[in-house]
Structure 1
Amino acid sequence: MASSRLRYGRYSRSGNVYSLTTATHGRAPLFADAANVAVLVDTLRFIERNGFSHSLAWVVMPDHLHWLMELQKGTPAQCMAVLKSRSSRLLNRQLGRKGPLWQHGYHDHALRTDESLHEKAMYLLANPVRAGLAGELGEYPHAWCRWPL
């Protein structure tokens, strides 16, 4: 959850689009394993199926997640709490471990009406290229977008 200092002056509204980023505890590369990525992706889809969000794009990097979503109900903090809680429980069970999976807090950015959603999605999808994990856009297996590349 974002610190209270970071939430000062913020408000959430259904229909707003948010770019959310969160990192694993200690930046552990838990998502270098495709089986772990599958659990996280299932959690993103769970949140959408339950009416909290409408995902526009996501990129699961080895040690963090970028998520572009339209809020449907609740707040970004509630969506992130469900994401972290559910994925932690499922992954800890799958990995036979205990303890925190995610760092405290997350970064969020509410997109302004003049920002292009497609451009923001393409920027997120380019993260693996910038990190040297893929040679070109669309090559990285742990990324998804509603728009064609």
Structure 2
Amino acid sequence: MIDYLNSVSRHHGEYLPHLEVKCGTYFVTICLDGAIPSKLHQRLKLERSRQLFELERQKRLTPEGRDAIEWGHFLKVDALLDSPACQPVLGRDDIAQVVVDALEYFHGDRYVLDMWVIMGTHIHVIFQLCAENLLQKVLHSWKSFTANEINSLLGRAGRFWQRDYFDRSIRCDEQLAAIREYVWANPEAAGLRDWKWRRQY
């Protein structure tokens, strides 16, 4: 693992804060635009902000506490994404293959993939950045290419992915093992059987 504290910078997305860690190992989730109704997403965001504010007000907000709140927020969002009410666009074989091709195109060059799972409405990816490559740029390349290709397959135009994304910088082997277990089991947790759109490297 890297020297986390000396290699980190922070920026803020539309919904969530993001960390840029040099050569960092990340768990990232990207979901379809509109997969979660905007009002519901805003309500979850407000709930998360209130939890953080209360700990800050009490001067009890630690990095571990912030991480726990962010993870709790993610689990609520991910449960909604697995709902049968969401249209599983990514479950189509030709569309899922576009995502796989994009993920694997720069594998071993800009990043090293560890695991990915493509769900019907979102994707989970675990990977490590290489050299000076930035998380934002890697995700932009994935989202931009796949959006254009998939929109063409669907005969539509417009935004395909949600603007923001969830990312978690992985800091130790124990955390990596727990996230791997969660990601790999996601299809079964969502009621999917014999799910083929996942890979561990």
Q: TM-score, normalised by structure 2?
A: 0.63
Quote the offset at 1:114 in angstroms.
4.3
Within the candidate set 17, 20, 27, 1:6 is matched to 17
| Aligned counterpart, 1:60 | 118
Matched-pair identity in %: 26
1:1-149 correspondence runs (5 A):
3=13, 6-7=17-18, 10-14=19-23, 16-27=24-35, 28-48=87-107, 51-72=109-130, 73-134=132-193, 139-146=194-201
Q: Per the alignment, do residues 48 and 95 of structure 1 end up closer, same or farther by CA in structure 2, a change over 3 Å counting?
A: same
AA matched with 2:121: D
DSSP-derived class of the 1:11 partner: strand
DSSP-derived class of the 2:191 partner: coil
Q: Kindly report structure 1 stretches of 4+ aligned residues shifted beyond 6 Å.
A: none
Which stretches in structure 2 are left out of the alignment for 5+ residues? 1-10, 36-86
In 2, the alpha carbon distance for the partners of 1:31 and 1:63 equals 6
Q: Is the contact between residue 151 and residue 157 of structure 2 (CA under 8 Å) also seen in structure 1?
A: yes
Q: Is the contact between residue 20 and residue 135 of structure 2 (CA under 8 Å) also seen in structure 1?
A: no
Q: TM-score, normalised by structure 1?
A: 0.84
Structure number with greater Rg is 2
Quote the offset at 1:12 in angstroms.
1.9
DSSP-derived class of the 1:26 partner: coil
DSSP-derived class of the 2:112 partner: strand
Q: Is the contact between residue 2 and residue 77 of structure 1 (CA under 8 Å) also seen in structure 2?
A: no
Q: Is the contact between residue 57 and residue 68 of structure 1 (CA under 8 Å) also seen in structure 2?
A: yes
Which stretches in structure 1 are left out of the alignment for 5+ residues? none
Q: Is the contact between residue 28 and residue 168 of structure 2 (CA under 8 Å) also seen in structure 1?
A: yes
How many residues are paired up? 138
Give 1 or 2: higher helix fraction.
2
AA matched with 1:25: D
